[in-house]
Chain A
Amino acid sequence: MASATAVVDEHAGHDDHGHAETNTGISNNKLAMWLFLSSDCLLFGALISSFLLYRTNISDGTEFEGPGEVFDIPFTSLSSFILLMSSLTMVLALSAVNRDDERSGRIWMLCTAFLGMLFIGGQVFEFTEFAGKGLGYTTNTWTSAFYTLTGFHGVHVSVGILMLLGTVFGTRNSGMGKEKSETVELVGLYWHFVDIVWVIIFTVIYLIPIG
């Protein structure tokens, strides 16, 4: 059934998509998703701290004089903003699905996926720019840590895009009405998580000045 929390008022307890009751009142799927996200905090934490450790460690004999030189803050701000807004479209999708408004639900999810792709496109662009400036993956500790961190985040976003598209296209026959609410909710949780990780990366890696 739609998760106990997603369907707020109506049908509590007796919708026909029978759902085993759980001790916590939270569905197994949702609990598992949150456990996974909680675990992922330590994954990104380790990547971010590896980066922080090396953020001024650029002794490699190239021209590179530090991140300040290559970061294009206006550009990254724009892509951060895009990702942030994709969280909005995601909640709107969930809200539409909860209203059983299938059409809007699909549209908002496609929007979300599209914004995600824009973000990934931006990342690819940024990486090529950096590479053009002579900053390869193996150039120095800073570049290794930077590409690995942002790369892992990019992979998470891409997985999210696949989940969104999978949900939209995989339900073409069955419909994506209210009964799919929990699916959409879980995809959304994952998506928002990836978004807040970027909120941290954007501030800590891009904005906070060194020194």
Chain B
Amino acid sequence: MTATDNIQDHGHDHAHDDHGHPSDRSYVMIALLLGFLTAIEIVMFIFEDDLPGAFNKIGLIALMIVKFIIVGGYFMHLKFDDNILTKLFLAGLVLAVGVYWIMLSAFEFSFWNDGYEDTGFWDGQVEFEQRIEDQSS
């Protein structure tokens, strides 16, 4: 919703025409960069066992986000188009990440550990559950 708040009337003029566009050459450079990032990802995967687990995951996710931003910003022109498009898209994206993240947390799923393993994600949970059990028996 909030994304729409500040749409003003742009009126009838071409307010956004004054941006430059990347040349074909820079598109190729961007693609090379993307390829390079993918290569890093694969290297990280190969040496997975030699890197600390968290480092690996954080690194891979960071690379993923960078790739996402590059494709969205340059190939999908978000960087050059009206801001409102970015906001609209982010609205969906952030909402998706938010609600599904909360949902998975409610399953006590943790991305950083094995899927289902009980992570005891709040201190005293086990104790609490025990107490409930005691009371009901």
Q: Which residues of A contact B (CB under 8 A)?
A: 4-5, 7-9, 12-13, 21, 23-26, 30-31, 34-35, 37-42, 44-46, 48-49, 52-57, 73-74, 77, 80-81, 84-85, 87-88, 90-92, 95, 98, 185, 188-189, 192-193, 195-196, 199-200, 202-204, 207-211
Contact = CB atoms under 8 A, between A and B. Distances in A.
B68 A45 contact: no
Nearest to B56: A209
Report the 10 A-B pairs with minimum CB-CB distance, sorted nearest first.
A38-B92, A45-B96, A56-B115, A88-B31, A41-B92, A203-B64, A49-B100, A25-B10, A41-B96, A12-B14
Contacts of A91: 27, 74-75
Contacts of A74: 42
B113 A211 contact: yes
Nearest to A199: B67
Contacts of B107: 53
B71 A24 contact: no
Contacts of B61: 203, 208
Contact of A25 (B15, B34, B97): B15
A80 B7 CA distance: 37
Interface string B8-29: 0111111111011101100110
B108 to A, nearest CB: 11
Contact of A52 (B7, B80, B85, B104): B104
Nearest to B62: A203
A48 B88 contact: no
Name the prevailing secondary structure of the B interface residues: helix
A49 B28 contact: no
Contacts of B115: 52-57, 210
A210 B112 CA distance: 8
5 contacts: A53-B109, A189-B76, A207-B60, A209-B56, A209-B57
Contacts of A44: 96
B99 to A, nearest CB: 8
B103 interface: yes
Nearest to B91: A38
B5 interface: no
A52 B111 contact: yes
B84 interface: yes
Contact of B17 (A8, A35, A54): A8
A199 B37 CA distance: 11
A109 to B, nearest CB: 14
Nearest to A76: B42
Given A37-B89, A199-B64, A192 B35 contact: no
Contact of B27 (A80, A84, A88, A193): A88
